[in-house]
A and B are shown apart, each in its own frame.
Chain A
Amino acid sequence: MIKSIEEYLDQLKAELKDSDAATAQDALADAEEHLRAALVNLREKQPELSQEAALNSVIDQYGSPAETASAYAEVERRTVPQLARESQKTESAVARFFGVYTDTRAWGALLYMLIAFVTGVFYFSWAVTGLATSISFSLFIFGLPFALLFFLSVRGLALLEGRLVEGLLGVRMPRRPLFTQPNLKWLDRLKELAMDRHTWFSILYMFIQFVLGTFYFVSFVTVLSFSLSFIAIPIMQEGLGIGAIYNNGIRYSFPNWSYPLLVLGGFLLWTTFMNLARGVGQLHGRMAKALLVTD
């Protein structure tokens, strides 16, 4: 007999321990939402029922923790692994290397690298401002509510970043916010958030994203310019009659025989970078999952 919704959620969490962390977080949020709504409804209709009897009737209809966990596992198994299946294909190393152009994950990772620069700067400023003002305001009475607002905003940003990571990097992230106890006093909620590792990990992520985002952006722009320059040299020299390098009024040109090598070099450089970007994207996704998703 399960005595409370919290107990049900704990059991469900235990059942889901082998499944994806993000799926588990969704499953817990769904169960919490449903059970609370169903319980309130049933107790209004049948007030003579004890809390425990009502809960068990609700759970009977919803499914035991084991049944619910298996339903999520089943659907997840049928629908999600599209990306995983793609990567299982056995191809030669060369085909995999050039196949990067048709891999949505590589293009997604490139886009993510650009966006990470902007989000990184924003996260960093937000985290620094939030932390600094929370600490300095704590001299005054309104410091604590301010800290609560800041922590809540961190939670929200972590969820948004998760959606971005899943959309562009293909790493499964939570689709729903974490549930919190309803009817909690704000001071208790602040305590709960401050004691949660997840909050501090998310803030850490916001700092890391600043460094990584800048690095991603700079590498992206640098490699893209080099690749394009190499490819453009023949066009510059032959088509426009401009030398590749000018120094003190002297024009240096690459010899004609080197054109194919330069174009090929530029193309290979970019292809290598896309392969790297795909790998880095996957690593970044794993880091985001470790820091932003509670286990």
Chain B
Amino acid sequence: MVDSPIVTKKFQKELNAGIASLVLLSVLEKSTEPMYGYQIAKLLEDYSGDASFMKQGALYPVLHSLENGGLLESKVEPSVSGPPRRYYEITAEGKETLGVWQGVWKQMKSFVDKAIKGV
């Protein structure tokens, strides 16, 4: 029961819900130029190594919702091969929000670590 894949999958999904926004904003803040979805997914693949935390397809709706919230902006540009690509870029509001979120994450992380270790 403890290592039931369904329970773990659900736990992972719930964790991802908030973290995906933080990760995407961070990646786009670090990037010097606008990035498109596949580029971002590739970069995250490098970060996560063999472990896969979320399906790449799940990144896109998060990108849309961040854009809707004014934290990202995007433009569509034609590509040499295939359909046009949507390039995402962080906004000033996004940078500000990211700063706050990083603070929240830091506190959260130390809180969870303490709870796990039981110090």
List residues of chain A with CB under 8 Å of any chain B CB: 26-27, 29-34, 36-38, 40-41, 61-63, 67-68, 71-72, 74-76, 78-80, 175-177, 179-180, 182
Contacts and interface: CB of A to CB of B under 8 A. Distances in A.
A67 B36 contact: no
A283 to B, nearest CB: 24
Interface string B84-101: 111000000000000000
Contact-residue bracket for chain B: 20 to 34
Contact of A33 (B37, B61, B65, B69): B37
Contacts of A182: 81-83
B117 interface: no
Contacts of A177: 76, 84
B52 A33 contact: no
6 contacts: A33-B86, A34-B60, A37-B85, A40-B82, A71-B61, A75-B64
A235 B39 CA distance: 65
Contacts of A38: 38, 41, 56
A72 B61 CA distance: 5
Contact of A67 (B55, B67, B82, B84): B55
Given A176-B86, A180-B83, A182-B82, A34 B56 contact: yes
Given A75-B61, A79-B68, A29 B55 contact: no
Is chain B's interface secondary structure helix, strand, loop, or mixed overall?
helix
Contacts of B61: 27, 71-72, 74-76
B35 interface: no
Contacts of B60: 26-27, 30-31, 34, 71-72
Interface of B: 17, 36-38, 41-42, 45, 52, 55-58, 60-62, 64-65, 67-69, 76, 79, 81-86
Nearest to B63: A30
Nearest to B41: A34
Contact of B52 (A37, A61, A180): A61
What are the 3 tightest A-B residue pairs by CB atom distance, in nearest-first order?
A63-B55, A75-B61, A63-B57
A72 B58 CA distance: 7
Nearest to B45: A61
A36 B58 contact: no
A176 B38 CA distance: 16
Contact of B55 (A41, A61, A78, A176): A61
A38 B83 CA distance: 12
B37 A30 contact: yes
Contact of B58 (A33, A71, A78, A176): A71
